[in-house]
């Protein structure tokens, strides 16, 4: 039972770098909203989404690389 709980918990908090990256990107876009109020929300929303996608892809690539190194 504890193994299952740890596995589920690990799905959400296992990678701190992903969480920090997403929070930092969100804060940066939030700061941009405050500093450049004339910037379209569509532009900032697109930047937010694309940043999330880039962070997620980077995280998956790094995790896959680390997994491949462990299998050797």
pLDDT the model gives residue 14: 62
**In contact, 56 and 15? CB cutoff 8 Å:** no
Domain boundaries, the chain: 15-71
Helices assigned H by DSSP within 1-72: 2-13, 16-35, 41-71
Residue-wise pLDDT for 33-50, tens only, equals 888 877 788 888 999 999
**Tokens in use for 28?**
């940066």
pTM (two decimals)? 0.73
């Amino acid at each position: 039972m504890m193994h299952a709980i740890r596995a589920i918990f690990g799905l959400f908090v296992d990678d701190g770098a992903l969480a920090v990256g997403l929070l930092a990107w969100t804060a940066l876009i939030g700061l941009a909203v405050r500093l450049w109020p004339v910037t379209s929300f569509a532009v900032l929303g697109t930047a937010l989404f694309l940043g999330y996608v880039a962070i997620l892809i980077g995280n998956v690539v790094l995790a896959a690389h680390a997994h491949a190194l462990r299998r050797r």
